[in-house]
Structure 1
Amino acid sequence: MNKLLVAEVLFLIFFATIVFKASNVVSLECYVCSNQTGNTEKCLNTIKTCDPGQDACQTEIRWGSMPYFSEGAQKQYYVSKKCSTKHICQKTRSHYMRYCTHIWYEDWNCFECCQGDRCNYYVISAGNKSFSYQQILYLLVILFLSKTIL
């Protein structure tokens, strides 16, 4: 019985080692591009296997003029995507989200973070939205409640 217990423990250690190594071998894949004029071509066709430790995909969408944002210059979208860590991506996002205004006559900058293979295919922040999703949800709840009360 003692030999059976030792064999089971050795098997569990062997199995855990293989699972651990396999999880380290499989890396995250993200779409990558830099300062493309929209979420097209290179931003949808270039995929990178991220470095070990990079567990998030980062997307940046900017509205403005290049090479430097300048008042009065013709404005357009610029999309950049890359591999990142969740911590760095969220820190960058929280720093820059105050500049994510979507006001067409001002320069703005938005970041998105996601986790999962090729999760940054779509650019969620792109577009000139006048209401946030949260505001729309609040309006729908208020509308629903007002109909049920009346």
Structure 2
Amino acid sequence: MNTSVISALAALVGAATGGLTSLFATWLTQRTQVRSEWLAHDRARRQELYKEFIEDATKCYVDALQHNQPDLAALGNLYAKISRMRVQSSREVADEADLIGRKIVDTYLAPDKTFIEIRAMLADGSIDILGKFGDVCRAEFESLRAQQF
């Protein structure tokens, strides 16, 4: 074989290898950025859902402590958020949210609480029905953060 053909072939293979390496590196970088952006968006969406759920659950629970007649619109809104969690969140988060919804409904069926009884519930911590939900959400966010890196 002619040495000029070998030189030309080596240059062509080198250029192709360099081009493919550059293409692969660009693709990998782009893929990593898109995945990171998607995870950040997903996390923000979950944070907003959990914030709204906590606010709505708190309002419903306070109403349930004071009244026997449920606010059906508020309960419907709360259960809509629980259903969204079943789609977007981990099973643990959705199950804990469902448990909170059930506790709120059960509270409507219980006798109304006086201010003194509510104060006693605050003192012994039994009024906090959202504590475990917060712990489960925090664990889910830590899991999502670990996936990001």
Q: Which has the larger radius of gyration?
A: 2
Structure number having the greater strand percentage: 1
Which category of TM-score, normalised to the shorter sequence, fits these structures?
0.3 to 0.5
Structure number having the greater helix percentage: 2
TM, length-normalised to structure 1: 0.36
TM, length-normalised to structure 2: 0.36
